[in-house]
Amino acid sequence: MMRRAHRFPSTRHSVVRAIGSADPPERARAYDALARSYWRPVYAYIRDRSRVSADEARDLTQEFFARDLEKAYLARFDPAKARFRTFVRICLDAFLANERQAAARLKRGGGVTLQPLDAPDGAPTFDPPSTDPDPEAWLHREWIRELFTDAVEALRARCEAERRATALAIFTRYDLETADGAERPTYAQVAREHGIAVSDVTNQLAWARRAFREIVLASLRAVCIADAEFRAEARDLLGIDPS
């Protein structure tokens, strides 16, 4: 299951709702979008919590989404009971527990050695194991990182299509390069770097931030089945209450 080809749908029709569709093509498209948006968080969660090899984690990630496509576990999500990301974590924990039990049964039944499948091209890398005792919080941070990474790539593609290279460069210089706590340059410094007026820096940065926010909101709408959940996620991530 390859990543990065996906762009979150901009429609208000929820991907989560669509996975329960009676229309097979619509259901398949929804599952593809959902799996791609959660691929790295699920892979990293499996690798971190199960302490398995990269090949095993890729295979388990693939199997998790394939199994769900077959059994439609995620389609049973009830927004009145939990956020969708919480439900994903619960389903993932249950899946991993079942896989461990199955592996134990195979081992007891004859010492079968499980061989990992060939690793797919473009599989995600893995950061050092976490020390966070809260698995849901950790999975949520991985999901946020993936959400913002895809949003930045979508913004980059939009800027390229609309010939807004300067806006992207200013956004990268002022917001992305300082995300790790580095000191931000002044607008005057950025203006000198690009040979433009300070007012142009302000306008270009405002446009890029607005476009980035629109992309993130569209992504959230796609994976939030309930409007209340969408608004809560938007407040948590962007500090806004969208209309």
By CB atoms closer than 10 A (0-12, 13-18, 19+), residue 133 is exposed
Residue with tokens 């992309």: 215
- Of 38-42, 178-182, 184-188, 207-211, the one with minimum mean pLDDT is 178-182
Termini Cα distance of the chain: 34
Identify the CA nearest to 46 among candidates 93, 88, 85, 110: 93
How much is the CA Rg of the chain, to the nearest whole Å?
Answer: 21
Identify the CA nearest to 148 among candidates 233, 231, 71: 233
Confidence of residue 209 (pLDDT cuts 50, 70, 90): very high
Q: Where are the domains of the chain?
A: 15-118+134-238
Contact 132, 124 (CB under 8 A): no
- Of 20-34, 71-85, 124-138, 170-184, the one with minimum mean pLDDT is 124-138
Task: Determine the distance from the C-alpha atom of residue 79 to the mean position of all C-alpha atoms in its chain, rounded to a whole number.
Answer: 19
The CA-based angle 76-79-80, given to 5 degrees, is: 115
The CA-based angle 136-13-31, given to 5 degrees, is: 55
Confidence of residue 6 (pLDDT cuts 50, 70, 90): very low
**Torsion-angle region of 65 (φ positive above 0: left; ψ -120 to 50: alpha; else: beta):** alpha
Report pLDDT for 242: 81
Can you give the pTM of this predicted structure?
0.61
Token pair listed for 127: 């950061």
Instruction: Find all residues with CB under 8 Å of 121, minimum gap 6, and list them.
Output: 2
Report pLDDT for 102: 65
What is the overall mean pLDDT for the chain? 77
pLDDT at 194 exceeding the cut of 70 = yes
Q: What's the farthest any 2 CA atoms get from each other in the chain? A: 74
